[in-house]
Structures are given as C-alpha cells and as structure tokens.
C-alpha cells in the first residue's frame, strides 16, 4: 500500500548515486525510471515535475522532490539517519556536504575535455588525500567510536563509505595512510543492507563511461 | 529570564527522538539584561569582507533578529591561523562560531540556523519544500557571485547566461508558487528561510538588471512585502552588516588569501 520511492535519472551515478546509497542503506526498496531520450526529459518538464528543470527527481510520499541535497536531507530525516538533535544534524550535514563535494568533483571529470582529464583527476586525488580523508581519519581517532557522529549509524557514514569506494576506484592504495578509515570501510561494508547493495545485481551504478556521457549530453543538450 | 519565552515543540517525525527547544520570542538574546547577555554569546562569522558564500548566512541571522559579530579575512596569515587552529574542517570558509561549535559548509550552517530560529516550516515535508526552494536560489546566487572571478573576456556572456536562467528557470517558478496558493509566503503560509533567500536573490538579480521583475507582478509584491518586515527593513538600511557586490579589490583579497 505504501508506494516505493521512484527515482528519475540517467542510468548512471551522477547526482543520484548518493540517494540510491541512502535508500539502500536504510533498507528501502525503490523503483527507477532511466532518462534515455530528450523527449522523456521534455515530458517530465512539461508535466511540471522538474522544479528548476533539473534532475535528480524523486517521487516520494506524494511529492516530486528535486535538488539533490533537499532530497538527501529529507530521506536522512525520514529514515532516522540524522542524529539525535540539531547539533548532531549540523555535524552530519557538514561531513556529508564535504563528501558530496568530493564525489561531485569526481563525477564531473567524465565531462571534462580529454586534455584536461588527467590533471583534473590528479588534483581531485590530491584533495582526497590532503583535504578530505585526513579529516575523517581524525574524527574517528579523536572519539574512538565506530561511527562518525554520536556513536550511532547515520547518513554521514553512508556518504563516507560511498566516497571512499569511489576514490579507491581511482587509486586502489588511497587508504594506505588511513588505518581507521580502512577499518571503517570494512565495518560499514559489512552492515547487512550495505553488504547487499555492494553485491552484483543491486541498483548500485557503475562509474561513468563514454556512453553515459553521450546520453547525458544528448538529453540535456550541452 | 526577562523577555524570553521558551516554547517546547514536539519532535518532527523521523528527525529526533527528543523534544526540541526553540526560542520563539521577540527577544532573541540577552535583551538588555547584562546577565543574560553574557550567557548567550553572539554568533561569530569568519569570512572575507564581502558577500560570497557568507551573505545568505548574514541575511538569515538578520531576518531572524539575531545580532552577530564578524571577523574579516584580509591576509593569508589569518587564514593559515584558522587552519592551524583546526577550525576549518575542509580548509574552507565560511566559518560560523555558534553554540560552542565551529561550523563550516554553507548549507550545513544555513540549515542549522533555519532550524534553530524556527524558519524551517512545521514538518518534514515543509522542510523539504523550503530546502528545494532555498537550494535553487542559492545555486543562482552562487552563479552570480562566481562571475566576479571569471576572466574579463568571459564575464559578459557569463552574466547574460545567468540573467537568462534567472528569467526563465528560477523567477517563473516562484511566481507560479505564489500564484498557485495565493498566500503571502512561499511555504505553509508562514515566513520561512525560503522567503529570505528569495528576497536576497531578487535584489541580487535586480542589481544586474533593474527591470528583471517586470513580468512577475507577484514577485514584485512579494519583494515589497518581505522588504518591509521590521528585521529585514533594518538590514536593508545603510550601515547594516549587509555587504556590497564584489569589486576588484574584493576579488584580489580572496585570490591572495586562498592563493588561486
């Protein structure tokens, strides 16, 4: 009787992947409609569902939600992954926003001109190693707990695992200086809902390839 | 405490298992009582002396009637000190010191303040709507803020493209929202963070094109109405902490401090 959330996006990660991770980690089944043609996109627009003409779009609880962070915040709150009070929520928001920044940088490389890709990637890996990962290693070291915030599993932990795996796809040794993040990765990956999402055949999407880039460019016309 | 009423609110579903306490009175801080003034420290903002990513935070605090202090970054040394003191989570400003926390990440700060000052709607669904609207207007305003840093040969086309987006993607949406429900505020017939952001965005776009609202009569009325709210009216007056559009000096300071 309770309709499953429905995700409208391209058949790839982009700005929707963190939403898939959150739902999967929360054990929530969801449907997906994949944008493949300009006509599909224009239909969504003409039906008035894309608030600012953009995807991701998530249909949930009678709402057509857009704006990635608005969707993520709603889901984190709905599924009780936002800490116990406003201060924990702020901390989770800070961590999640940082990891989202990093992941969107990575997602963007697929759309860079070929001559820029290599330097772009190198710069991102540098930021991962010096600006982002050390922060989370320190957070875990300082409190010695299993989760990032409030000694409880939250959206921040899901985002961090997603980011770690994404960076590892670019540099398999990226965690070599971060022992606590290594342990964190193993621990969170073994949580039942996440373990299931990490198995082949789940709704987790692959890194962007040239076909994905082409579809996005054709549909959004840029 | 004199002049301050504390209202207990029931928790929003799914957010918290504990009741949230929100100060919901005309008096926002010590209210002239030296004892209470000392107890509630003012929020402190660390940023450049300009709008950038901090301006929406200034607007929110001002609209909520909250006094705040500011420390302006002018040198690389100041920035490095903040970093070395461990206050900049990912090495970035804005930084806001509030309630014993050093908060970074613009949207995390804005969300915290919107919730704290009761400008986030009455439930999760209203909150999601406010987040959607606010995130959209923030996108638009950050595009505008970014033009100051574009190379001279790109500035004009960049600005034209932004104005086009304002006129076709953003403003019509809010005109329609107001038209569809016929209410005075964007969400839930109550003043919220979304209204503050929209006014800020409208004024920012008007600085680039004074006639931008000519096709949007409800936004015109909205602009007048929200501008006349006492706290906002005060913020719009000369001498407030509202900052000016970026000029070449501002761009230079930011480039020097952040070294890019």
A18: which 2 tokens? Answer: 């963190």
- Tokens 């963070």 found at: B193
Per-residue pLDDT band at B38 (split at 50, 70, 90): low
User: What are the pLDDT digits (tens) for B107-121?
Assistant: 999 999 999 999 999
How many CB atoms lie under 10 A from the CB of residue B256?
13
Q: List the domain range (segments joined by +) for residue B93.
A: 6-116
Average pLDDT across chain A, whole number: 97
Helix axes B193-208, B171-181, angle to 10 degrees: 140
Judged on CB neighbours under 10 Å (0-12, 13-18, 19+), A197 is buried
> Residues B129, B171: one domain?
yes
Q: CA-CA distance, B61 to B54, in Å (whole number)?
A: 11
State whether A134 and A43 are in the same domain: no
Q: Do both B110 and B191 map to the same domain?
A: no
Same domain, B133 and B203: yes
Give me the pLDDT at residue B22, please: 41
Q: Determine, for residues A86 and B116 on separate chains, whether the beta-carbon distance falls below 8 Å.
A: yes
Q: Cβ distance A187 to A7 under 8 Å?
A: no
B11 and B99 belong to one structural domain: yes
User: CA of A221, closest CA in chain B: separation in Å?
Assistant: 15
Q: Which one of B116, B146, B180 terminates a domain?
A: B116
pLDDT in tens, A97-135: 999 999 999 999 999 999 999 999 999 999 999 999 999
Q: Residue A219 falls within a domain, yes or no?
A: no
Mean pLDDT of A13-40: 98
Report the residue from A69, A71, A131 with minimal CB separation from B90. A131
For residue A94, the model assigns a pLDDT of 98
In the prediction, which pLDDT does B19 show?
Answer: 39
Per-residue pLDDT tens over the stretch B163-193: 999 999 999 999 999 999 999 999 999 999 9
B187 burial via Cβ count (<10 Å: 0-12, 13-18, 19+): buried
Residue A221 lies in a domain: no
List Cα–Cα distances, A109 to A103, A123, A165, B140, B161, in angstroms: 10, 11, 16, 23, 23
- Find the CATH number of the domain harbouring A178: 1.20.1050.10
Note whether A44 and A141 are same-domain residues: no
On whether both A102 and A72 belong to a single domain, the answer is no
With an 8 Å Cβ cutoff, are A131 and B104 in contact? no
In a domain, A217, yes or no: no
Phi, psi angles (nearest 5°) of residue A3:
-65, 145
- Residue B137 near residue B200 (C-beta atoms within 8 A): yes
Instruction: Choose the final residue of a domain: B89, B116, B143.
Output: B116
**pTM exceeds cut of 0.80:** yes
Here the tokens at position A215 are 């579809």
Asked if residue B162 is part of any domain, the answer here is: yes
Chain A hits for B101, Cβ within 8 Å: 87, 90-91
Q: Give residue B65's region: left, alpha or beta (phi > 0; psi -120 to 50).
A: left
DSSP assigned state of A149:
B
Q: Which three-class secondary structure state does DSSP give residue A64? A: strand
Pair (B230, B214) in one structural domain? yes
DSSP H or E run through B165: helix B152-165
- The whole-number pLDDT of residue A167 equals 97
- pLDDT tens digits for A140-156? 999 999 999 999 999 99
Where does the pLDDT of residue A2 fall: very low under 50, low under 70, confident under 90, or very high at 90 and above? Answer: confident
Q: pLDDT value at position B7?
A: 42
How many structural domains is chain B composed of?
A: 2
Contacts of A52 in chain B (CB under 8 A): 136, 139, 169-170, 173
A166 contacts A125 by C-beta, under 8 angstroms: no
Same domain, B40 and B128: no
Query: Is pLDDT of B11 > 70?
Result: no
pLDDT, residue A1, reads 58
Q: What is the CATH number of the domain that holds A56?
A: 3.40.30.10
Q: How far is residue A185's CA from residue B210's CA, in Å, rounded to a whole number?
A: 53
A100 and A183 inside one domain: yes
Query: Does residue B62 lie within any of the structural domains?
Result: yes
pLDDT digits (tens, 9 = 90+) for B222-253: 999 999 999 999 999 999 999 999 999 999 99
Q: Is residue B93 part of a domain?
A: yes
The CA distance from A136 to the nearest CA of chain B, in Å, is 10
CB proximity list for A156: less than 8 A, separation 6 or greater? A91, A92, A95, A96, A99, A147, A148, A149
Average pLDDT of chain B, as a whole number: 89
Tell me what pLDDT residue A212 has: 97
Q: Are residue A144 and residue A52 in the same domain, yes or no?
A: no
- Whether the pLDDT of residue B15 is over 90: the answer is no
- Tell whether B148 is covered by a domain: yes
Q: To 5 degrees, how large is the angle CA B240–CA B244–CA B249?
A: 130
- B4 pLDDT tier (thresholds 50, 70, 90): very low
Task: Respond yes or no on whether the N-terminal peptide bond of residue A56 is cis (omega within 30° of 0).
Answer: yes
What are the beta bridge partners of residue B8?
B21
Contact B203, B171 (CB under 8 A): no
Residue B16 binned pLDDT confidence (cut-offs 50, 70, 90):
very low
Q: Note whether B50 and B15 are same-domain residues.
A: yes
Tell me how close the Cα of B108 comes to any Cα of chain A, in angstroms.
5
Name the least confident of A32-41, B17-26, B207-216: B17-26
The predicted structure's pLDDT at residue B234: 98
> Residue B166's pLDDT is what?
97
Does a structural domain hold residue B248?
Answer: no
Report CB contact under 8 Å: B15, A89.
yes
The model's pLDDT over A159-170, given as tens digits with 9 standing for 90+, comes to: 999 999 999 999
């Amino acid at each position: 009787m309770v309709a499953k959330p429905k995700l409208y996006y391209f058949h790839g990660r982009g700005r929707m992947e963190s939403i898939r991770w959150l739902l999967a980690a929360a054990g929530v089944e969801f449907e997906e409609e994949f944008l493949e043609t300009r006509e599909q996109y224009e239909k969504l627009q003409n039906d008035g569902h894309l608030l600012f003409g953009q995807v991701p779009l998530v249909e949930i609880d009678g709402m057509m939600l857009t704006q990635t962070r608005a969707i993520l915040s709603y889901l984190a709150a709905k599924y009780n992954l936002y800490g116990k009070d406003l201060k924990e929520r702020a901390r989770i928001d800070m961590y999640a926003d940082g990891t989202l920044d990093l992941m969107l940088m990575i997602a963007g490389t697929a759309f860079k001109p070929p001559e820029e890709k290599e330097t772009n990637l190198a710069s991102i890996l540098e930021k991962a190693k010096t600006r982002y990962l050390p922060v989370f290693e320190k957070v875990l070291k300082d409190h010695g707990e299993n989760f990032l915030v409030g000694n409880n599993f939250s959206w921040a932990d899901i985002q961090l695992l997603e980011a770690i795996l994404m960076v590892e796809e670019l540099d398999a040794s990226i965690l070599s200086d971060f022992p606590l993040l290594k342990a964190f990765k193993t621990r969170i990956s073994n949580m039942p809902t996440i373990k299931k999402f990490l198995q082949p055949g789940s709704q987790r999407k692959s890194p962007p390839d040239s076909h994905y880039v082409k579809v996005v460019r054709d549909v959004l016309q840029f």
